[in-house]
Every structure is written in structure tokens, then in C-alpha cells.
């Protein structure tokens, strides 16, 4: 029998955070569901769009494979539950809500524009920042919320709605 797979399903996401054009887009095959076990992260590219597929405890999620901070690929990070950890600045982001879970250690702006101070893990003193263009770039970088691509599972394959 063919059709939707009832065992692995798309995770719900906030409707306001759907990627532009994705709610009316055609679904395209991404990869077999067997290739993305629970806790897995994979990059799948559609033309020049790199998509992060994540198998969270809430279900399957597809977002751009770019950290909401400075755009490095989250597919080389790690996933715990619904939280994806960026390998670059200790940022952590909630794939269920689209919001930051832990702001990057270099600080910057929260999604609402409010400032977030730099921090260090494990009691290590915060690095003294040298004023200048790099300092300003870090201070003024706003962490985005994720934008989501609808996902479904059909005949054992993960499909993602990708805008043309």
C-alpha cells in the first residue's frame, strides 16, 4: 500500500514562520526517511537552496541550513530533542518554536532587536572586545527566527515544499 507514512510525521511549526512562497509550493523528494533517524541532521540541496532536515523528538523539520546568527551550516551541529546546537558560537536554537534557546556567546541582537551581552561557557572570563568594525558587526548582528518549509512523508520518502 502506498501513501503517507503514519509512523514518522512532520513536526508542527508556528504558521507565521513559514518560508516565503513555501505554503503554496510543490513538494520535492528529499531523502528516504530511513536515512534520517531520530536525532539526525542532514543537509539536502535544491538548486542553490540548502535545507536542513532534522528528526526532532517532535517530528521532522525542514529549515534553511544556515545558523540564524551568522549563517554557518547547522547540519554539522548537533541535535538534542528539538534544540539544534551551532558549532561556531555556542548558539542553540529551538526547532519547535523557531526562537533562540541560547544566544551566541559573542552576543548581538535578539530577534526582537533587544541587545544580548557576550558570555563565556564554564566560568571562563568573557574575552575583552576591541572596539572597531568587527565589534560593531558582532554587536549589531540580529539573530533571526527560523523560516520553515512544510514536510511530509510519502511511501517512506521525506518530501519538502520548496518555492520555485
| Segment interacting with ligand FES (CB under 6 A) among 5-13, 48-56, 88-96, 119-127 | 88-96
Binding test (CB under 6 A) with ligand FES, winner from 10, 62, 67, 161? 67
The least CB distance from residue 79 to ligand FES, in Å, is: 14
Which CB sits closer to ligand FES, 86 or 96? Answer: 86
Nearest-5° Cα angle at 83, 157 to 78: 75
Distance from C-alpha of 65 to C-alpha of 69, rounded to nearest angstrom = 12
Is residue 69 near ligand FES by the rule CB under 6 A?
yes
Specify the stretch interacting with ligand FES by CB under 6 A; choose among 17-25, 48-56, 87-95, 152-160.
87-95
Cell numbers of 90, please? 555556542
Residues 7-66 close enough to bind ligand FES by CB under 6 A? none
Assign residue 108 a region: left if phi > 0, alpha if psi is -120 to 50, beta otherwise?
left
- Give the interface segment with ligand FES, choosing from 32-40, 42-50, 81-89, 153-161 (CB under 6 A): 81-89
| In the complex, minimum distance from the CB of residue 74 to ligand FES, in angstroms, rounded to a whole number | 7
Query: Where on the chain is the footprint of ligand FES (CB under 6 A)?
Result: 67, 69-70, 72, 86, 88-89, 91, 104
Amino acid at each position: 500500500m502506498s501513501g503517507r507514512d503514519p509512523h514518522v510525521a512532520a513536526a508542527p511549526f508556528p504558521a507565521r514562520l513559514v518560508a516565503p512562497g513555501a505554503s503554496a509550493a510543490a513538494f520535492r523528494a528529499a531523502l528516504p526517511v530511513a536515512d534520517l533517524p531520530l536525532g539526525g541532521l542532514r543537509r539536502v540541496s535544491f538548486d542553490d537552496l540548502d535545507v536542513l532536515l532534522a528528526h526532532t523528538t517532535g517530528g521532522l523539520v525542514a529549515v534553511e541550513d544556515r545558523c540564524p546568527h551568522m549563517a554557518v551550516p547547522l547540519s554539522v551541529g548537533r541535535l538534542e530533542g528539538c534544540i539544534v546546537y551551532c558549532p561556531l558560537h555556542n548558539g542553540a536554537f529551538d526547532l519547535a518554536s523557531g526562537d533562540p534557546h541560547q544566544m551566541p556567546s559573542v552576543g548581538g541582537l535578539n530577534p526582537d532587536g533587544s541587545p544580548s551581552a557576550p558570555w563565556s561557557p564554564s566560568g571562563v572570563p568573557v574575552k575583552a572586545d576591541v572596539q572597531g568594525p568587527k565589534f560593531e558587526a558582532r554587536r549589531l548582528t540580529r539573530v533571526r527566527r527560523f523560516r520553515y518549509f512544510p514536510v511530509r512523508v510519502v511511501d517512506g520518502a521525506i518530501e519538502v515544499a520548496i518555492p520555485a
